Structure 1
Amino acid sequence: MLTDRSVSRSRPTRRAAGVGFLRRCSVSGAAVLLVLVGVPTPASGAPSGEVPRCVAASDGVQVGGSPGGSFGFLSDEDLGRELDIAKNAGMFSVRIDIDWSVVEPQPGRRDWSSTDRVVDAIVARGMCPYAIVTYAPAWARVATARDQPYARPASPDAFGAFAALAAERYRDRIVLWEVWNEPNITTYFTPLPDPTVYALMLRATYRAIKKVQPEALVLAGGMAPAVNNGTNISPTAFLSSLYTLGANRYFDAFNVHPYTWPFLPNDLSTAPWNTAMAMWSMHDVMSAEGDGGKQIWITEMGAPTGTNANAMSEEGQAESIGIMLNALLGNSWLGPAYVYSMRDSGSDESDTEQNFGMVRRDFSPKPALAEITEFTAEHSG
């Protein structure tokens, strides 16, 4: 048993909404045992079923944009243009990285200027920054993977201390926080995903942020699409492990990245691995643990266009996004949905990673932009 004082080592129509989603999908939970006990959970200003001011600004469902890690490196002009497109599409929020490795590449030497610029630009347009506290600098990574850019931090408490600095700096501008990105896959939690280690990070970060900003909403790190294969852990299994560990006390909402491309989210042939369909199973896990009032946010969703064999047509991209947005209707346990991404990150049509945008690299719109704008006009208050 790990006590509280312990420190870790290491094809329906576009408007057919979620009708095609499977209700249940059985995935085994992890067998890790950790009890996070000893000190009461800090009082939260955003208990189950409630949200802070940035989210409560609308009576309808909410849509945001998730532009990716390169967003902070755009020119002022391009940054402004992307944000204006998002604002005009009815997006209430933009999900951004607060990257520890960028802010503090050397111990004690911090430069917040890149993040300041992005946060200020979002706030100036009346939108809500949604901040992912993530990615450790080389000096703070676990020793066995120090050369890997997305290796987990060596110390959960040190990571939490950085989160506290971020919360203090942006306490009047950011109330939406996410702890790490896609910790259920090796790519973003090198050397291997580990719910126990992540639970300690979650606890340290949740407490650090809430101490500075009790009204904040703190979300568990967005889960990537994955199956249990010894290298990655499915979102449902990872969530189940967090409950086994008692870590559910340290997040106000769960969140997931239900990509299904090149298939549509409601394609029943993909049920064995479809993360969009598995959201219903995740909600069942939470409800069984008495957390049915907590929402599941969709903090990345979308599909790439282009010429790659795994890309979708621009019409297919719009349809896929439309299906996911419509799944929000009538399912109050689903929180806001963030579209990845706002603009193509490059012009190589053969590279899926460069072609997720709702607009092309030259800012010309894809059909997805109209799909999103139409949805928010009808359903976002």
Structure 2
Amino acid sequence: MIEAAMIWNEPNNKSHWDPELDPDWSRFAEMAMLAADAIAQVNPDVTKVLGGISPIDPAFIERMKAFGVLDHVDAVGVHGFPLDWNLWQIDEWPDKLAEIGAVTELPIWVSEVGISTFGAEEIQIWGLKRTAQLLIGHATRVQWYSLYDLPAAWGATTRHREAEGSSYYRHFHMGLLREDGSPKPALKEFAELAPQMGLVQWFHFEDPRLNDAVSWMKRLGVTQLRTGLSWADSFRPDALAWFDRQLEALGDFALTVTFCFTPEHRGLMPHHTSPPLVPDEFAGFCAAMIERYAPYVRPGPYDPHLPKT
């Protein structure tokens, strides 16, 4: 069910990895390498992607290279939201890809890109079209964030100041569907871009939108999907039953699964952005999920009587 495993989400984003606990990212680098090796040991065919970075920062990639992380992964991810958070313009996308390409020869995945409808729904239509023009064919993979708006009742936390792009209220309006499931105008435009452009949709624990999301994605012609499995959620009662249901429902898509979120009781501090007390435990979670949902299928013995393909 899983073709690619992404190791963490936005590790250079202070709202997703606590910089006070790991100011030089050395703890993250150790954890990422352990996780990548654990995944490869279980199934060497799964593509290992360094968690999509936000902001797009070549210095961070160079730091990961210096730690040796890039020797353990197959691709690097970048995330960009130039109309909502980033302090650069949408037409700078080619330059941003070139900045990362200058410091690594690994394939570059734009594993999260999106436009909010906070200001006007028409902006999302224009932004989607322009994003497709700038990225499709120029990045190894492009994945649009997201299918659904976030429910307004959900909390959202950020460590960023407004001047750093912390307009986080926009985060609730990134979907192609509104919170009530009704389509926005950009949905029709996205349907014309799938499957060239994949989709990102996170599901919270026992998310009631799961089945409707699958129906919508099939209707849209989505083939590539990025989602997540939470290490923190794995300690909830009946966690495996939920993971099983989620992965079974998503089994018709080429899945990139992001592994992230530290359980409060296993972090240096009780927060999901904390480095783990024991980084091998995160690696063990990644390996267990790959073993369960993407077990390695060994090629059969060579048979000279079979026709060549």
TM-score range, shorter chain: 0.5 to 0.7
Once the two structures are TM-superposed, the CA of residue 63 in structure 1 deviates from its matched residue by 4.2
Does 2:3 match 1:62? yes
**Pick aligned residue for 2:59 from 113, 132, 140:** 113
**Pick aligned residue for 1:361 from 274, 277, 284:** 277
* Alignment-mate amino acid for residue 288 of structure 2: E
**Pick aligned residue for 2:199 from 236, 242, 255:** 255
**Pick aligned residue for 1:374 from 284, 287, 291:** 291
Unaligned runs of 5+ residues in structure 1 are 1-59, 104-111, 137-141, 143-149, 266-270, 287-291, 306-311
* Alignment-mate amino acid for residue 337 of structure 1: V
The alignment's TM-score, normalised by the length of structure 1, stands at 0.53
Find the aligned partners of 1:343 and 1:281 in 2 and give their Cα distance.
31
Once the two structures are TM-superposed, the CA of residue 225 in structure 1 deviates from its matched residue by 5.9
Find the aligned partners of 1:218 and 1:210 in 2 and give their Cα distance.
7
Aligned to 1:277: 211
Aligned to 1:302: 230
Could you report, residue by residue, the CA deviation over 1:3-34 in whole angstroms, capped at 9, with x for unpaired residues?
xxxxxxxxxxxxxxxxxxxxxxxxxxxxxxxx
The alignment's TM-score, normalised by the length of structure 2, stands at 0.63
Find the aligned partners of 2:10 and 2:199 in 1 and give their Cα distance.
18
Compare 83-92 and 334-343 and name the one that shifted more: 334-343
* Alignment-mate amino acid for residue 325 of structure 1: L
Find the aligned partners of 1:255 and 1:246 in 2 and give their Cα distance.
10
* Alignment-mate amino acid for residue 281 of structure 1: S
Could you report, residue by residue, the CA deviation over 1:213-249 in whole angstroms, capped at 9, with x for unpaired residues?
6xx2222134566248997348451675324346743
**Pick aligned residue for 2:51 from 75, 88, 96:** 96
Once the two structures are TM-superposed, the CA of residue 326 in structure 1 deviates from its matched residue by 3.8
1:69 is paired with a residue whose SS is: coil
Conserved? CA contact 2:52–2:112, under 8 Å: no
Unaligned runs of 5+ residues in structure 2 are 14-22, 41-45, 154-168, 299-309
Once the two structures are TM-superposed, the CA of residue 295 in structure 1 deviates from its matched residue by 1.3
Once the two structures are TM-superposed, the CA of residue 377 in structure 1 deviates from its matched residue by 5.8
1:237 is paired with a residue whose SS is: coil
Find the aligned partners of 1:68 and 1:76 in 2 and give their Cα distance.
16
* Alignment-mate amino acid for residue 62 of structure 1: E
User: Does the C-alpha gap of structure 1 residues 195 and 162 become closer, same or farther in structure 2, counting only changes over 3 Å?
Assistant: farther
1:131 is paired with a residue whose SS is: strand
Could you report, residue by residue, the CA deviation over 1:304-333 in whole angstroms, capped at 9, with x for unpaired residues?
35xxxxxx73554454334433444xx333
Aligned to 1:163: 96
Identity %: 8
